[in-house]
Amino acid sequence: MYDEVNSLNQVQHPLEYLTEIEKAAALDQELLLRDAGTPWGDLLAAYVDTLNELAVRGMEETGYVATYGLDEGHAGGCG
C-alpha cells in the first residue's frame, strides 16, 4: 500500500515496511535454528522433565499440583 499512488515520491506504508522486517527476522531465526544442529527433541524432553520436577516440588510444599490445560482449543490468558 502506497500513499498517493500517482505521486512521484511514493513512500511505502509504515505497517507494510514493518511486516517485511518481521518476515525477514523470522526467516533469519528459522535458518539459525535449523543450522545450529541443536537436538530439539532432547531439549524439549529436558524442559518437560524440569517442569514435572517443579510441579512435584510444588506439591510437596502446598499439597496440590497446579495444572493448566486447554479449554476447547482456547489457550487462556485472555480476559
Domain boundaries, given as residue ranges, for the chain: 1-37, 39-79
pLDDT at 36: 84
Cell numbers 544442529: residue: 37
Is the confidence at residue 12, as pLDDT, over 70?
A: yes
CA distances in angstroms from 42 to 9, 37, 39, 47, listed in the order given: 53, 12, 5, 9
Q: What is the pLDDT of residue 39?
A: 86
pTM surpassing 0.95?
A: no
pLDDT at 41: 83
Q: Are 12 and 2 in contact (CB under 8 A)?
A: yes
11, amino acid identity:
V
Q: What is the pLDDT of residue 25?
A: 94
Read off the pLDDT of residues 20-77 as tens digits, 9 standing for 90 and up. 999 999 999 888 888 888 788 888 899 999 988 888 877 667 777 666 665 655 555 5
